[in-house]
Amino acid sequence: MKVVSDTSPILALASIGELDLLRRLFERVHVPTAVDREILGSSRAAFRSAVSEGWVAVEALPPGTVRDPRLRSLGAGEGEAIALALETPESVILLDDRVARRTAAARGLQVVGTAGILALAFERGWIPDLEERLEELKATGFWISDRVFRSVLRR
């Protein structure tokens, strides 16, 4: 199983000091070059460290790979991440944007968002308080709907 990430989950998890959850959950995460370009600010150092350690792989897509108009209408990172995931059957894609999630799911990809990543880590006992982590995430400016917030906590 190949795991591909868009920018949002990486930025969100790095902002609360939990980027390493991706390594623990998936062992290796692939990102397209557009995601590499989009990761800026304080999260950049944690991301580059993960790349140096080898558990995040930055992959260049051949020119013209993202031809599908629906993928091109998304952000560069989202479109390239979906295209990269589509290269390998049964890929999992880490996405938060609602339109991008629907686009990926319509193409048969399994989609997991940042809240879902935190829920998986909580289920494994790696984080002690899911609600606290979700609140901390929201405090960084990460948007999560009340419906998703409650749904993740019920799970």
Q: Going from the N-terminus, what domains does the chain have, and what CATH number goes with each? A: 3-154 (3.40.50.1010)
pTM attached to this predicted model? 0.91
Question: Minimum mean pLDDT among 47-56, 66-75, 125-134: which range?
Answer: 66-75
* Tokens found for residue 82: 């979906």
Of 62 and 136, the structure prediction assigns the larger pLDDT to: 136
Report, in this order, helix, strand and coil percent for the chain, each rounded to 5. Answer: 55, 10, 35
With beta carbons less than 8 A apart as the criterion, state whether 94 and 113 touch.
yes
How far is it, in rounded angstroms, from Cα 147 to Cα 134?
13
> At 79, is the pLDDT very low, low, confident or very high (cuts 50, 70, 90)?
confident
Rounded to whole angstroms, the Cα distance separating 68 from 73 reads 9
Q: Could you tell me the pLDDT band of residue 64, with boundaries at 50, 70 and 90?
A: low
